[in-house]
Amino acid sequence: MDCRKRLEEELREAAATGDEEAVCAILEKGSIDVNAQHQINGWTPLHWAAQRGHFRIAANLLKNGADKTIKNNKGETAVQLASDSNTVAVLGGEPNGDVKPLKDGQSFVPNYLANPPFPFGSLHQQQSLIENLPREEISSAYHRSTSYCQPYINMKTDSDELVVKARVANSAETDFIEVELDRPHLNFEFLVTTLCKELEVKRELIQKVRKLPDTILRKDKDVQRLKNLQEVELVLSNRAISESSRNYGPAVSPKHIDVVY
Q: Is 18 in the same domain as 125? A: yes
Q: Is 175 in the same domain as 139? A: no
Is residue 175 domain-resident? Answer: yes
Q: Mean pLDDT check: name the lowest of 87-91, 157-161, 168-172, 173-177.
A: 157-161
Q: Is 141 in the same domain as 168? A: no
Q: Is 196 in the same domain as 124? A: no
User: Which of 84, 116, 145 is at the close of a domain?
Assistant: 145
Q: What is the pLDDT of residue 124?
A: 47
Give the type of residue at 146: T
Is residue 53 domain-resident? Answer: yes
Average pLDDT in the 190-209 region? 92
Instruction: Tally the domains of the chain.
Output: 2
User: Which of 145, 171, 190 is at the close of a domain?
Assistant: 145
Q: What is the pLDDT of residue 99?
A: 47
Burial of 47 by CB count in 10 Å (0-12 exposed, 13-18 middle, 19+ buried)? buried
Q: Which CATH number belongs to the domain containing residue 190 in this structure?
A: 3.10.20.90
Q: Is 124 in the same domain as 17? A: yes
Q: Is 129 in the same domain as 77? A: yes
Is residue 232 domain-resident? Answer: yes
- Tens of pLDDT, residue by residue over 63-106, are 999 999 999 999 999 999 988 888 899 998 765 444 444 344 43
Residues 6+ apart with CB under 8 A from 142: 59, 90, 110, 112
Neighbours of 107 (CB within 10 A): 13
Beta strands in the chain (DSSP E): 161-168, 177-182, 206-211, 215-217, 230-236
Whole-number average pLDDT of the chain:
75
Give the type of residue at 213: P
Q: Is 67 in the same domain as 182? A: no
Which range of residues forms the domain containing residue 226?
Answer: 161-247
Is residue 260 domain-resident? Answer: no
| Closest to 18 (Cα-Cα) out of 62, 51, 66 | 51
| Residue 238 pLDDT class (50, 70, 90 cuts) | confident
Q: Is 135 in the same domain as 177? A: no
Average pLDDT in the 171-197 region? 90
Is residue 153 domain-resident? Answer: no
Q: Which CATH number belongs to the domain containing residue 106 in this structure?
A: 1.25.40.20
Q: Is 108 in the same domain as 34? A: yes
Q: Is 31 in the same domain as 127? A: yes
pLDDT above 50 for 249: no
In 3-state terms, the chain is what percent helix, strand and coil (to 5)?
40, 10, 50
User: Which of 145, 169, 186 is at the close of a domain?
Assistant: 145
